[in-house]
Amino acid sequence: MNTLLQINDQWMNAPAGVVAFALTIAIGYMLKVSNFFPNNRIPAVVIPMASICFTVFQLCADLMTNAAHPWLNIPIHIGMGAVIGAVAWLFHAQILKRFVDSKFFNDDGSTKFFNNPNPPVDPASKP
């Protein structure tokens, strides 16, 4: 139990960019596992989501530290969040897809744990 509390304390003290990056990766994988959301649309969701998460985290931090005029930094936080979301998407596309996806996902998009009810049809196999 102490280990879980220590991990929680580390996440609570982590920079907002690290937390937004991790949430972006987690949200992307949740969308990938869901059967109702197409994989090619995931970047269109996770990049704005990272931007929103980072802006909220930074705004809360600015308000807690009584920073002067925290509302003026919102456009900067939105831009930085979009960059974090793009970096998370590229990190998945270049690194995680090679090492993690091959262990958990089949070629048809289904996971190794659940079968895809609508697997993609190979155009060459059509009569």
Strand partners, 111: 105
3-class SS at 76?
helix
Structural domain contains residue 94: yes
Task: Give the count of domains, the chain.
Answer: 1
List the chain pLDDT tens, one digit each, 127 residues.
Answer: 667 666 656 666 678 888 899 999 999 888 887 878 888 888 999 999 999 999 998 888 888 888 788 888 889 999 999 999 999 999 988 888 777 777 777 665 566 555 555 555 656 665 5
Q: Within 13 Å and on the Cβ side, how many CA atoms surround 23?
A: 21
Q: What is the pTM of this model?
A: 0.71
Residue 103 belongs to a domain: yes
Domain membership of residue 31 (yes or no) is yes
CA separation for the pair 62, 60 (Å, rounded): 5
> pLDDT tens digits for 92-126?
888 887 777 777 776 655 665 555 555 556 566 65
- Residue 10, pLDDT score: 64
In contact, 108 and 120? CB cutoff 8 Å: yes
pLDDT of residue 70: 80
Residue-number span of the structural domain to which 81 is assigned: 14-111
Q: Is residue 93 in some structural domain?
A: yes
Q: Count the helix, strand and coil residues of the chain and give each as a percent rounded to the nearest 5.
A: 70, 0, 25
